[in-house]
Structure 1
Amino acid sequence: MRDQAEQLRMKMSGNLGVLGRSIAVVSGKGGVGKSNFTTNFALMLAKLGKKVVVLDMDIGMGNVNILIGRNAQYNLKDYLVGEATLSQVILDGPNNLKYISGGSGLSSVIQWSPPMFNSLVNAFETLQRNFDYILFDMGAGATNWSLDILTSIEEIIVISTTEPTSVTDAYSMMKYIHFRDQNKKFYLVVNRAYSNEEGRETCIRLKNTMLKFLQKEINILGSLPEDPTVRKAVIDQIPFSISYPDSPISKTLDAMVNKFMNYEGEAVYAQDQTTTFLKKLKNIFSKGRV
């Protein structure tokens, strides 16, 4: 293990240059539309000419490939246990989008080993060198290993609905992450709002709660409307941004994507290599967190 840690330190001590922008998409509970948001958000970025890859980090329970109607011969777990290469698990999606499936029908619990974690870091290094945006579709809730990864990622998009339980869980998720890294940049999206007013009020309530109890500012991306085309798209296994580009949710998400791209976080990796995702992961590895 000492040799592996030393190899990793040597590999990551050099100048990595301008890296892709790594963003985690999280929710405090399941059923809020997180994977659907991630998939369509990524597709819109790719449509704008960005090089985008989605990592389905709900290992063993992922569904990104299902949402876009593609079969995945290999998934992230296959790569981590050495049964597939990285190039084999990077799959083609619509709009030149790339994605790595988390797999399905398997246990979502994996036993992390030093070689497995080393493989994960190697994959992330390659992806950051080759893509403009790396979106991590995290499993719902918080586990020790997912919190370690979230601590390393610079930007977090938090998905909530207007339901009180979802709002509470979204706040709890941000609080957990904030306690680990107070410099984390949060973006808030409220999904399935029945009106603009309801969505706006939920955003403001969460923003004010974070400010009052944690003295933490968060960025509001906005709210997405409840839209029947989402269910139709899921059934057809064609993302709504492709099958219903003129629907209310597609138009709202398009504006949200442009708003996100205009945040100053666009250059975060080029400006400060000391806080990059990979270096933070290296620190976790060296401390024996996995």
Structure 2
Amino acid sequence: MRDQAESLRLKMLASSGELARTIAVVSGKGGVGKSNFSTNFAHALLKQGKKVVIVDMDIGMGNIHILLGKSPQHSLMDYLIGTEGINSIINQTEEGLDFISGGSGLEAIMEWSDDTFERLTVAFEHLQRTYDFVLFDMGAGATKRVIELLIAIDEIIVISTNEPTSITDAYSMMKFIFMKDPDKSFYLVGNRVTKANGGNDAVLRLQFAMKKFLQKETTILGFLPEETVVQKSVIAQTPYFLTHPNALISKRLLTMTEVFTNFNRKQENQKRLGFIGTLKNIFTRGRD
């Protein structure tokens, strides 16, 4: 009864107002700093006065709460199986960043029964009407349901290092998404750059490959240098954007964030209105 009442309440939220931009942060492989980027990017958005929530969708390997130095009592898994309501799984840091932990066993629920999918869409609708930005920190893998979610999400930020395998896997991920949705917006970020003068190698190669082989334009947000403050912040379980705001990496991240929030805003406002509808259509087709 509580679940039905909550579902009805969320569905009756006022339809007026601007919906949040939905963003997926992805990488072709693990170990490239994707989740670390997500937590620091979210804090850079907060600095701009935006209301932000991170949803940890890294199946079985979620670590957003660890990077933030938190131990949440409840997770997305608890909500999806019906033991907790949406508000009880939203956690907040002292700086005002909200996040939802994925929880162990989430991989088992990601095949999405009808009831699970209904709860998922109710939660996402709530997040879209509550926040300015909803960041989905995705895992490195690409299951069928994960790809469906990526297709529905408005914008994709792709994190890559200069390692050949990272570049190749990132391209494969983008190509797979592009084949399902040619209109998807991709933003490229080069991470862990060791040479300032060659830092754009990874993202330039990705941009070139997408243009040459798929005739798809992508946007380069920039690149982040390899700095010792990153490892220090991970050990301290506090984002470097907070502990070292004057570091080069923090300054570059802030510039990236400003570029991203202002880029093609009018077009994205129109596109993102279809996030929930797109997700529902994909799920319905998959059940036919």
After TM superposition, list the pairs within 5 Å mapping 1:32-111 onto structure 2: 32-104=32-104, 106=105, 108-110=107-109, 111=111
- Give the conservation status (yes or no) of the 8 Å contact 1:63–1:103: no
After superposition, give the CA deviation of every residue in 1:91-146 in whole Å (9 maximum; x if it has no partner): 00242110001124x46333421100111100000000010000000011211110
Which range moves more in the overlay, 93-102 or 15-24?
A: 15-24
1:228 counterpart residue number: 228
Equivalents in 2 of 1:277, 1:94: separation in Å? 30
1:282 counterpart residue number: 280
Post-superposition offset of 1:83 = 1.4
Equivalents in 2 of 1:201, 1:88: separation in Å? 43
Post-superposition offset of 1:59 = 3.6
2:261 counterpart residue number: 261
Equivalents in 1 of 2:29, 2:271: separation in Å? 33
Matched, 1:150 2:134: no
Q: How many residues end up aligned between the 2 structures?
A: 279
After superposition, give the CA deviation of every residue in 1:55-103 in whole Å (9 maximum; x if it has no partner): 0011432110100101110011111111111000000024211000112
After TM superposition, list the pairs within 5 Å mapping 1:128-207 onto structure 2: 128-207=128-207
After superposing on structure 2, the runs of 4+ consecutive aligned residues of structure 1 that deviate more than 3 Å are 14-17, 106-109
Post-superposition offset of 1:259 = 1.1
Residues 15, 88 of structure 1: alpha-carbon distance in 2 compared, 3 angstrom cutoff: closer
Equivalents in 2 of 1:176, 1:265: separation in Å? 25
2:4 counterpart residue number: none
2:3 counterpart residue number: none
Equivalents in 1 of 2:174, 2:239: separation in Å? 28
Equivalents in 1 of 2:144, 2:16: separation in Å? 27
- Give the conservation status (yes or no) of the 8 Å contact 1:224–1:253: yes
Report the residue type matching 2:126 in the other structure: T
- RMSD (CA atoms): 2.2
Identity of paired residues, percent? 53
- Give the conservation status (yes or no) of the 8 Å contact 1:60–1:77: no
Report the residue type matching 2:107 in the other structure: S
- Give the conservation status (yes or no) of the 8 Å contact 2:77–2:106: no
TM normalised by structure 2 equals 0.91
1:219 counterpart residue number: 219
Secondary structure of the residue aligned to 2:136 is strand
Unaligned runs of at least 5 residues, structure 1: 1-6
